[in-house]
Amino acid sequence: MRPEILYPFFAETVSLPGVGARIAANLEKVAGLRIIDLLWHLPVDIIDRRSGPALKDILFDQIVTLEITVGKHDPAPGKSKKPYRVWCHDDTGSIQLVFFHPRRDYILSQLPEGETRLISGKVEVYNGQLQMSHPDYMVAIEKRAEIPEIGPVYPLTAGVSGKVMARIINDAVKKAVILPEWLDQSLLKREKWPDWNSSLNNVHNPKSVDDVLSGSISRVRLAYDELLANQLALEIMRRQTKKKQGRIMVPSEKLVSQVLANLPYELTGAQKRTLVEIKQDMAEPSAMMRLLQGDVGSGKTVVALLAMLIAAENGSQAAILAPTEILARQHYVSLSKLVGNSDVNVGVLTGRDKGKSREKILDDLASGKIDILVGTHAIFQKDVNYHDLSMAVIDEQHRFGVEQRISLSAKGKSGVGMDILAMTATPIPRTLTLTVYGDMDVSRLDEKPPGRTPIDTRVMALNRIDEIISATQRAVSNGARVYWVCPLVEESEILDLAAAKERHRHLSQIFGERVGLVHGKMKPKEKDAVMMRFVAGDIDILVATTVIEVGVDVPEATVMIIEHAERFGLSQLHQLRGRVGRGGDKSTCLLLYGATLGATAKARLKIMRETEDGFIISEEDLKLRGAGEVLGTRQSGLPKFRIASMEDHNYLIPMARDDARLILEKDPDLASDRGKNLRILLYLFERDEGVKYLKSG
Ligand code: ADP
Ligand code: MG
């Protein structure tokens, strides 16, 4: 339950003076519905009204505050579309104030002829005449104080002017109740950070351009608060899972050695190191919570298998959860191959299994005949009972939510923590790992199995399409299978889809029947059917929007063509390129760019040419773009940060993490005075999911 002191922060913006339903709806588009959303809506620039030149010295497009004498009014006649003009002057020149659709009585009352006024706004030149349209301020000389010398400039939205936005946010800031300090005094001293309320005031009342930069101390303080809230929440969850009694699993090496003997290759150094980490986790009395991060093709499957074998050696069962039917079937095939004719039994269960065959699988699960079960979400449905499930592997973990993890965990013996090994093929930068996966221990498979031929990556202009098609014809006649990817993003979905369909039609004219199309608007069944035809080799060219399943393995596919590569994030390009280069044959990736490339796009495509290492690519991606875009926003699983910038504040993340660990070590239930203040912090940043696990304090 949210502490009372925070109620004003979470009140709706309509409770602010001058904010009606219409303005609130507009504010929601750019910030949010609640006062707190306005507080997190930070200025991007300042507006400086201190300049007050004589009219003859004005530079146009300048923001100025002028002392002028009001002259003649020139109202637009009748229904004319012409604006209402007011002539004004000082000793050195004249200026026109211009109003479109004004309320006449208002103008007359504000600008009485012959009076002196202060007006502030932006000066333009129109037909050689100085003019200012809709001044921001028009006040009598003695009311100069009403014109702020320096004010914030906020990102705007239609229907709310800069001036109104600044006024509303200023009102919102005034509603911010004084909050008790949750940061450590020595940290505040060392960093010279102001208290929370002062920081909030400072960021919304910038005094210079430096104050709106992410490095200003007030912003840094607020960013640290947010990162600390994030780390505390993760650490609370982590301690919660660790608290549950796990099982001590000691490898007997019986099954592991059988399977290792059957392996056609030697494990890489990274695979061995990761296995040691997993073994240690499993041997501990607490439950394992480990994330295995490794590029496509880095060999996660065999690591998962060996871990599951340890569970089997201890007489229990393991399950591996895949996001799609195809992936589950593929895992089943490769795991069956890997276990060979050892004493391990692998089974598979997906939504496709019905009737008798499903019953048989359920029986074998309940009796313990199946040691390792592969499948989709079907494996944790209600009527699925395990003999003794002790370990769950979750492949492509970002495709699942916490609820699915919990459902699967619930299939274990009651009161016993399930060992969880989550896997992801989306490498993310080290610093971000802490903000996303801070509740897990992380192993990195940062070494590829030997013997891979590097993918020949080229960057080409899309207008060389004829050459590209001839090259594709040569490749296809040599037996290659080709992915042809077209971008599809939500903002331009309809156009993008049309472009993909058009490309499919175009290629079909050249290549005939052997061209397929998959896109995100198709039903999963239809998509699967086309994918299966590509896997089987019934089609040579697969035109696809970015829906190509991560992890689907078509070793015969050796050409990846990506249209408008400049529109993709680096990590996305990396994921796509990872679809080829899986067999023994040399593979090619063509990155086609549509328009003239900007500097950033150029730099990105260059990195793609230079490296295939997903970890390096993710670090570069972070440098070139914001964190929100690092993984392609949709599949990122990145928490949303309102203030902290992953590029500029990432040095704070390890600090926040150490802080969080120390805090909870000393005060596990956040019951001390500072602990209570930290609870307020968690609620303030809406990271309160974890608070329910703390003893009420
Ligand atoms: P991931 O799931 O991480 O994308 P996989 O587990 O599917 O990768 O492995 C990719 C390929 O590499 C598979 O064909 C697998 O047999 C092979 N492989 C895995 N480990 C090794 C190794 N140590 N040496 C050689 N090949 C390996
Ligand atoms: Mg895999």
Kindly report, residue by residue over 550-599, the tens digit of the pLDDT.
Answer: 556 788 899 999 999 988 888 888 888 988 887 778 899 999 998 778 88
Å from CA of 497 to ligand 1 middle: 34
| pLDDT on residue 696 | 63
Architecture per CATH, 455-611: 3-Layer(aba) Sandwich (3.40)
Cα 306–Cα 405–Cα 446 angle in degrees, nearest 5: 45
Looking from the CA of residue 303, the nearest atom of ligand 1 is 6
67 has a pLDDT exceeding 80: yes
Q: Are strands 124-126 and 129-133 parallel, antiparallel or unpaired?
A: antiparallel
Q: 0.75 cut: is pTM over it?
A: no
Ligand 1 touching residue 267 (CB < 6 A): yes
How confident is residue 639, by pLDDT bands cut at 50, 70 and 90? low
Are the CB atoms for 541 and 511 separated by under 8 Å?
yes
| CA–CA dist 683, 325 (Å, integer) | 39
Å from CA of 209 to ligand 2 middle: 48
390 has a pLDDT exceeding 50: yes
Å from CA of 403 to ligand 1 middle: 30
How confident is residue 625, by pLDDT bands cut at 50, 70 and 90? low
Å from CA of 224 to ligand 1 middle: 40
How confident is residue 400, by pLDDT bands cut at 50, 70 and 90? confident
Residue nearest to atom 23 of ligand 1 (CA): 267
Quick one: DSSP state of residue 322?
A: -
Would you tell me which CATH number, out of the four given (1.20.1070.10, 3.40.309.10, 2.40.50.140, 3.40.50.1000), belongs to the domain 50-147? 2.40.50.140
Ligand 1 touching residue 301 (CB < 6 A): yes
Quick one: DSSP state of residue 178?
A: P
Residue nearest to atom 21 of ligand 1 (CA): 449
Looking from the CA of residue 296, the nearest atom of ligand 1 is 4
Query: Which of 274, 675, 277 has the alpha carbon at shortest distance from 444?
Result: 274
| CA–CA dist 69, 56 (Å, integer) | 15
| pLDDT on residue 242 | 73
Q: Residues 189-240: pLDDT tens digits?
A: 999 999 999 999 999 999 999 999 999 999 999 999 999 999 998 888 888 7
Q: Which two tokens stand for residue 37?
A: 């959303």
CA atoms within 13 A on the CB side of 284: 17
369 has a pLDDT exceeding 90: yes
Per-domain boundaries in the chain: 4-45+171-208, 50-147, 254-445, 455-611
Q: Residues 106-164: pLDDT tens digits?
A: 999 999 999 999 999 999 988 889 999 999 999 999 999 989 899 999 998 888 888 88
Pocket-testing residue among 260, 265, 549, 582, ligand 1, by greatest number of atoms within 8 A of Cβ: 265
| pLDDT on residue 547 | 64
Looking from the CA of residue 578, the nearest atom of ligand 1 is 4
3-state secondary structure of 417: coil
| CA–CA dist 141, 66 (Å, integer) | 10
What is the identity of the amino acid at 209? V
Check if 254-445 and 455-611 are the same fold: yes
Q: Which residues fall inside 5 Å of ion ligand 2, going by CB? A: 551
CA atoms within 13 A on the CB side of 253: 2
CATH of domain 254-445: 3.40.50.300
Query: Which of 51, 68, 46, 47 has the alpha carbon at shortest distance from 131?
Result: 68
3-state secondary structure of 589: strand
| CA–CA dist 247, 314 (Å, integer) | 10
Pocket-testing residue among 275, 298, 374, ligand 1, by greatest number of atoms within 8 A of Cβ: 298
3-state secondary structure of 206: coil
Residue nearest to atom 19 of ligand 1 (CA): 299
| CA–CA dist 423, 321 (Å, integer) | 10
| pLDDT on residue 211 | 92
Looking from the CA of residue 268, the nearest atom of ligand 1 is 23
Task: Tally DSSP H helices, then E strands, for the chain.
Answer: 24, 22
Å from CA of 265 to ligand 1 middle: 9
Ligand 1 touching residue 338 (CB < 6 A): no
Ligand 1 touching residue 292 (CB < 6 A): no
How confident is residue 632, by pLDDT bands cut at 50, 70 and 90? very low
| CA–CA dist 314, 296 (Å, integer) | 30
| CA–CA dist 402, 637 (Å, integer) | 11
Q: Which residues contact 570 (CB under 8 A, 6 or more apart)?
A: 604, 607, 608, 617, 618, 620, 621, 624, 625
360 has a pLDDT exceeding 50: yes
| CA–CA dist 392, 288 (Å, integer) | 10
Q: Across the strands, what pairs with 320?
A: 374, 393
| pLDDT on residue 475 | 93
Pocket-testing residue among 302, 305, 587, ligand 1, by greatest number of atoms within 8 A of Cβ: 302
Beta strands in 123-188 (DSSP E): 124-126, 129-133, 137-140, 150-153
